[in-house]
Amino acid sequence: MSTRYNQFGDMLKLLLGVWLGTVMLAMFLWVPPHEGLGNLGRIIIVHVPTAWVTVLAFLISAIYSGLYLRRRRPEHDDRALAAAEAGLLFSILATVTGSVFAKAVWGSFWNWDPRETSIFVLLLIYAAYLALRSAIEDDERRRRLAAVYSLLAFITVPFLIFVIPRIAESTLHPNCALLATSNCEGVTLGLEGSGAPKVSLLGERKVELLDIQERDGVAIARVEVTEPGATSRAILEPSINQRTGQPVEMPEIGGTRFRLKLERLEGERASLNIEQPGSSGLLRNSRTLLTFLASLAGFTGLFYWIYRVRAAVLGIQGRLAEEGVL
Amino acid sequence: MFSPSLWRSTWAILRKDLRAELRGRVAINTLLLFAITTVVLVSFRLGPLGISRDQRAVTSIAVLLWIAIFFAAMSGLSRSFVAEEEAGTAPLLRLAASPAAVFAGKLLYNLLLVAVLEALVVLLFAALMNLRVGNPGLFAASLAAGGVGLGVATTIIAALVARASVRGALFTVLAFPLLLPLLVVAVGATELALAGAGWSKAWPELRLLAAYVLALLAASLLLFEQVWEG
């Protein structure tokens, strides 16, 4: 019975290795470069699943903490601890992959974007949970108090994940589809006498419409863009094909991959918006979507495996300690 | 749940803690000295003649105000439960009162300390940092909401760390992630109040603070019994 179970487990383990290996190969060889981000867009295959696993681990840890408080069975605490340890590992992976991407695309490793803030707090919570455990000698008390802390954290974290991104003025993450912030609508500027303001804020940047020119059916808006804190300014010339309504030029904004887009032109009024890299459908390509889903399944499987092995080891340790071997 | 005897024991615990505090004055001295140190240090370079004169410095002032409140709270508010464990009186308290009364008594005690602390920090800021408040009602509301959240969180976390080793360091480590959402929003609300924004503009922040406090209070009341167990 147990050998057959072990054989089955070994096969699953092997399958998981082959599966994740295939996903990694597909990520670099099979997935086409993203329209806006180029090769940088490939990071989504690793970054998003690790972030998802971090949240999943947090959920599992809280559920088993609650179960422990109710039933007081040490196995439940072992599972809560195993999930938290795996969660710490994956939250570090998500933070590092995201940070590398942020440097390449947004210009700095860390921006205190709402998503970055929430993963940072999850990291702190995992660390605090493990610190609390290491500071209590008595087994039963350690389990009980750690479970209480895990549940307290579980109550307060949703405030970060769901609420702060909503009230924040801007987010760098491509999530206008999920969360409508002030960035998503863009601004309408006008020349003098048109009734619309000449200067406004687009996200954190100041934009000023200088003039509008027309050449062969293509309208060009000359816009001065000033970075936050007036550290630098540049004159950009986004343009639009007036017959089709399609943008022609979308110049990049100072050192980032954000592009300035002229969305509409009515008389002397120009509607401007920031085209976020990735907001034009990171997963629209079917190969990318398939690899992404396979990666999501693979990372979830990897997490589950780590979590089960660790919980089993903790269980054996506990029993050995009870019998006085350890 | 809130029977007359519960009120009586809550009141008795609050009075006992206040009397002990007035005799030793450990928590209040720590809180006040910490707050004074922080504000004086900040004021040396940014104070009456520094950037605090600038009307646009409201963001910096709001952040510094909450830094002073938060770190002073971290230094003194764990006393409520740690003192019981150090003096060995916790088992007696377990026999004498129900867990709900103990939690409520300690919570009221911590809330009083937070109120004293906030009043002092605001006075110091008024004297040393050119504190100008555009909307006093909103300023009071944001301090009150943030202060209640701080009081609830420190009460339950003090109970958690009371029987661990390295309590002082652990207290801050455990409190910070739980309090970060509260502090971020409280700083935002305070900033709006200093800048003189209307109530309607700060309404989302205040609502968020209230929701946070209620959620944390409900969770703490439910979980405290498990923490307080002998």
ipTM, 2 dp? 0.90
Assess contact for A68 and A62: CB atoms under 8 A.
no
pLDDT digits 0-9 by tens, A242-300: 778 777 888 877 766 677 888 878 777 888 877 765 544 566 678 888 888 999 999 99
Q: Using the beta-carbon criterion (under 8 Å), do A121 and B188 form an inter-chain contact?
A: no
A157 to chain B: closest CA residue: B178
Residue A145 at interface with chain B, using a CB cutoff of 8 Å:
yes
Per-residue pLDDT 10s for chain B (230 aa) are 557 788 899 999 999 989 988 888 888 888 889 999 999 998 888 877 777 777 778 888 999 999 999 999 998 888 888 888 888 888 888 888 889 999 999 999 999 999 999 999 999 998 888 888 889 999 999 999 999 999 999 999 999 998 888 787 899 999 999 998 899 889 989 999 998 888 988 888 898 899 999 999 999 999 999 899 87
pLDDT of residue A176: 46
- How far CA A30 is from CA of A19, A26, A37, in Å, comes to 15, 5, 16
B224 to chain A: closest CA residue: A148
Q: Which structure tokens are listed for B156?
A: 């339950």
Which residues in chain B are contacts of A116 at CB distance < 8 A?
none
SS3 state at B69: helix
In whole angstroms, what is the distance from residue A283 CA to residue A291 CA?
A: 10
Q: Using the beta-carbon criterion (under 8 Å), do A144 and B180 form an inter-chain contact?
A: no
pLDDT digits 0-9 by tens, A169-207: 555 555 443 333 445 567 778 887 777 788 877 766 778
Question: Which of B223, B224, B227, B229 is the best mutation test for A, with the most CBs of A within 10 A?
Answer: B223
SS3 state at B102: helix
Q: Where are the domains of chain B?
A: 4-228
- How far CA B74 is from CA of A104, B149, B151, B160, in Å, comes to 38, 13, 11, 14
Q: From the list A121, A135, A147, which residue is nearest B165 (CB)?
A: A135
Give the DSSP H/E element, type plus range, for residue A273.
strand A269-275
In whole angstroms, what is the distance from residue A305 CA to residue A11 CA?
A: 13
Q: Using the beta-carbon criterion (under 8 Å), do A132 and B178 form an inter-chain contact?
A: no
Q: From the list B163, B170, B208, which residue is nearest A131 (CB)?
A: B170
In whole angstroms, what is the distance from residue A153 CA to residue A166 CA?
A: 20
CB count in 10 Å sphere of residue B183: 18
Q: Using the beta-carbon criterion (under 8 Å), do B226 and A149 form an inter-chain contact?
A: no
In whole angstroms, what is the distance from residue B216 CA to residue B218 CA?
A: 6
Residue B173 at interface with chain A, using a CB cutoff of 8 Å:
yes
B186-200 burial, b if ≥16 CB within 10 A, otherwise e? bbbbbbbbbbebeee
> What does the angle CA A297 – CA A299 – CA A300 come to, to the nearest 5 degrees?
65
Residue B205 at interface with chain A, using a CB cutoff of 8 Å:
yes
SS3 state at A222: strand
